[in-house]
Copies of this chain bind each other. A is one copy, B any other.
Amino acid sequence: MEFRKQRILSPDLKNHVGQVVTIMGWLYKKREMGGLNFLIIRDRGGLIQALVEDKQEIQKLDGLQIGTVVRVSGKVVEEIRASGGVELHDPILEVEVAVSDVPPIEVDKAIDHNPENFSTLFDNRVLNMRNVTEQGIFKIQSGVADAIREYLKSQDFTEFRSPKLLPGSTEGGAEVFKLDYFGKEATLAQSAQFYKQIMVGAFERAFEFGATYRAEPSMTTRHMTEFTTVDVEMGFIEGVEDLYKLLGKLINYVVEQVWQKYEKELTALKAEQPILTDELPQITMNNLHELYLKETGKDFTNEKDPSPEEERFISEYSAKNWGSEAVLITDFPSSDMKFYHHVSEKNPEVVDRADLIFRGVEIVTVTRREHRYERLIEQLKAIGGNPEHPGFKYYLQAFKYGMPSHGGFGLGLERLTQKIIGLGNVKEATLFPRDTNRLAP
């Protein structure tokens, strides 16, 4: 269905060489070269150049600025130096919407991503989203989401949506946003953890793309208060290895698909395709500590978590030695587990958990969950949790009436997009980021 039969989109122009066609879009750039006027017009397909020699035509743009919406009819001519290999000659211009104010940023120039200028970057998001390279980030993000959804559906996962308005916090803590809910207290969801596990009882395999809220007051502006998590949960697993396999296949699929469908955008953003193996390489936390000690002389052997420098180290080490920029750190100590984690059957000192380190940072935590009702109740009570709290009560119901062995992971959509493209900060992969200081645009 095309709403304006007469309008041609920029990528289609090459099929109309020699014909007179009409394009519509925004004035993106205007240059004069030796008496010749070159206009660049942007439409949703990209950029197209028009060569205006007629003075009467170019005068129609007198006093008008970048962003002006125009309709341009002209003859399509092959021109190897123009974007798309064609340009419009002898154009007739019609101004649809005139812009008289000079925009605060130069939309056609490379957008400044220097962390020191982030406030300028995000304050001008409405306009810098009109830069075709910048747009690529969010086209790629939508492609990442599509690929995730596609792969999970091919594996029989059902997508669901859980509420983000929850009863008063179960875990206490200051990390939670609280709101007045008709005189009661409600909180905003910090994760869809319980809901996705509940969904295993219905669909076996379930996932959600959902908003996640974090109100940690100590957070620096490096962290976001709202972001998107892909929550994935799978039932009837033999063990945590099934989850590692699923995650490996998923990451490989996403990278393949995105490079297939968004090559133009990735190239403009200078993104490098990650190298990955089909099965993700693994290293236990203890072995990582030892390897790092051996290689650098720095001792983290008593730490319960990998340090940020170890995460960067193991990523590079894995890329070089194991052929994968994504690597799993396994065997986290059970002394540091969450109540719903599953203690390893082989070694009660560790839980069935791995962190996926991708290009130097952790992007996913994968765990098997405790599915045996009595054990789960014990583990909950051990942390002082009240099984009757409405935040736990319904969750526990799922276990009381039969839950199979299961587990899953949560994957930050913006974080994955950031690392795939190779951006420095997760906010650069967020359309309208929110942090302790920022609530707009």
List the one stretch of A73-81, A153-161, A321-329, A379-387 in contact with chain B: A153-161
Most chain B beta carbons < 10 A, residue from A186, A217, A441: A441
Residues of B within 8 A of A237 (CB): 3
Chain B residue with the shortest CB-CB distance to A404: B69
Interface size on A, residues (CB 8 A): 101
Residues of B within 8 A of A24 (CB): 236, 404
Within 8 A of B (CB), among A95-121: 96-97, 99, 101, 103
A436 sits at the interface (CB 8 A) = yes
Complex CA–CA separation, A156 to B390 (angstroms): 44
Contact status A130-B441, CB under 8 Å: no
A18 sits at the interface (CB 8 A) = no
A371 sits at the interface (CB 8 A) = yes
Complex CA–CA separation, A236 to B216 (angstroms): 43
A398 sits at the interface (CB 8 A) = yes
Contact status B166-A439, CB under 8 Å: yes
Contact status B217-A182, CB under 8 Å: yes
A347 sits at the interface (CB 8 A) = no
Chain B residue with the shortest CB-CB distance to A194: B441
Contact status B431-A162, CB under 8 Å: yes
Copies in the complex: 2
Chain B residue with the shortest CB-CB distance to A64: B402
CB distance from A292 to the nearest CB of B (A): 33
| Neighbour of A402 across the interface among B69, B160, B177, B178, CB < 8 A | B69
A365 sits at the interface (CB 8 A) = no
| Neighbour of A99 across the interface among B103, B202, B400, B441, CB < 8 A | B400
Report if A203-B44 is in contact (Cβ < 8 Å); known contacts: A142-B158, A439-B186: yes
Contact status B142-A160, CB under 8 Å: yes
A33 sits at the interface (CB 8 A) = no
A403 sits at the interface (CB 8 A) = yes
Contact status A441-B69, CB under 8 Å: no
Residues of B within 8 A of A66 (CB): 401
Chain B residue with the shortest CB-CB distance to A403: B97
Contact status A139-B165, CB under 8 Å: no
A-B contact pairs, 6 of them (CB 8 A): A69-B404, A142-B159, A165-B213, A167-B440, A195-B432, A390-B441
Q: Can you add 10 more A-B contacts, CB < 8 Å, to A4-B236, A126-B198, A135-B203?
A: A3-B237, A43-B204, A66-B401, A99-B402, A163-B432, A163-B434, A166-B439, A182-B436, A394-B441, A395-B441
